Amino acid sequence: MAGLALVAPAAAQDWGSDYNQGIIGVLGGTEAGGTISLNCADNGNGVVVKGDLSIFLNPGVDSEIGDASPGELTFSVDGKDVVLPVSADQGDGFVYEKTAATLDHATQLLDLLETGKTLVVTGEGKQLASIGLEGAGAALDGVEVCLVP
């Protein structure tokens, strides 16, 4: 039964957003299936530059990938894949930071998250997370401001 946590998306996924000091924060998923959070600096705040976009992935409890970054993750939404480079986030999952070279891929991923049903994240051939996307579209409203060069 424990292996099923990553195979099927959980029935109740929590998606929400918040705004604090020039930063839009969006969080979705569950501890069991994994969580994804996006931080978009729509105005910046003196520490974070306007337009910065970060995507953090915390693997589900059954993930076998460990703490070392695989270098890139495949984000699959309803069978459509987007590959993004990631680094380890101090042992607490993985982080993608927007770059000019990967902006098109980040834009494609956000479009898929807004309209898709399920996000499955893999790295090194291993599944890290399965996250239902119900409510993601509304929570991601406003993040597109960070999808410019």
Q: What is the DSSP string of 48-106?
A: S-TT-EEEEEEE-TT--S-SS--SEEEEEETTEEEEEE-EE-TTS-EEEE--GGGHHHH
In the chain, % of residues over pLDDT 70: 91
Rounded distance, CA 122 to CA 130, Å? 9
**What is the model's pLDDT at position 11?**
41
Parallel, antiparallel, or unpaired: how do β-strands 80-85 and 126-132 relate?
unpaired
* Interval 119-148 mean pLDDT: 94
pLDDT tens-digit profile of 67-94?
788 899 999 999 999 999 999 987 789 9
* 6: confidence class by pLDDT, cuts 50, 70, 90: very low
Domains along the chain with CATH numbers: 4-146 (2.60.40)
Structure tokens at 134: 């119900």
